[in-house]
Copies of this chain bind each other. A is one copy, B any other.
């Protein structure tokens, strides 16, 4: 009978550093399709820089909220594949996160109380033979597909008490001054910082001075085309984070900034030059 399964058909999202050259992602989809042909699979991105767990965690953090309850998010950026690092399923607020326990899932779970943390060790739901180098295909994809069919999380393996968390890089604030850093650079070359919109609330958007390396930008803009005469613009981006962009250009290539570079924000004073 077809209806009940359709009504429960779930969406499974995939995020990885597998790139677009090889058929690794396609194979994961084949495995899912073989188990649950009605599951909908949506790619978040497979262009995460190889082994860059933090970039994967950020991409997942800012994607998952746009999917409806019941979504199953599979993420695989997994340099420790085949070692003792645990394969996890974390359930929180009616969403499911599946991937290696290396911090990749953690930023999407900030501020949420996980309902369950399961080590998906039940080999009955793994592909056989199970390779030591491609758990995306052999563990994470089949586990997600079985979960989408209605297998209970508790059937997939034993409960665990906690999971590995990546720290969100903390801001340093001194009076009205804020020091953050570049945490992500997107495909347009936009420099994304760890400075959330609310951290800027105390400051006057027009009189804010932002600096990174030798680059200094005055004021917070509403959109990319409100750039200064050089083309640079600072704005709160669609992730709710302060971002530096070069209008119709590539800020990273142009100014040479890189992940981890410090970003300073001050309120403009009488002599803005000294404030920097």
Residue ID in chain B nearest A14 by CB atoms: B26
- What are the residues of chain B within 8 A of A27 when measuring CB–CB? 44, 62-63, 66
Q: Is the CB of B66 within 8 A of A31?
A: yes
Q: Name which residue of chain B comes closest to A50, CB basis.
A: B188
Known: A79-B225, A225-B83. A44 touches B68 (CB 8 A): no
* Copies of this polypeptide in the complex: 3
Q: How far is the CA of A137 from the CA of B63 in the complex (A)?
A: 11
For the complex, what is the distance from the CA of A71 to the CA of B30, rounded to whole Å? 9
**Interface range, A side:** 35 or more
What's the least CB distance linking A259 to chain B, in Å?
A: 13
| Complex Cα spacing A35 to B30, Å | 22
**Which residues does chain B contribute within 8 Å of A138, judged by CB atoms?**
238
What's the least CB distance linking A3 to chain B, in Å?
Answer: 6
A238 touches B133 (CB 8 A): yes
In contact, B223 and A81 (Cβ under 8 angstroms):
yes
Other-chain residue from B62, B83, B188 in contact with A23 (beta carbon distance below 8 A): B62
Q: Which of B40, B44, B79, B80 contacts A33 (CB 8 A)?
A: B40
Residue in contact with A22 in the complex, picked from B133, B134, B187, CB distance below 8 Å: B187
- Interchain CA distance A68-B35 in the complex, whole Å: 9
13 inter-chain pairs at a CB distance below 8 angstroms, sorted by A residue, are A2-B7, A21-B47, A25-B43, A27-B66, A30-B66, A34-B67, A37-B68, A79-B224, A79-B248, A83-B225, A131-B237, A133-B237, A138-B238
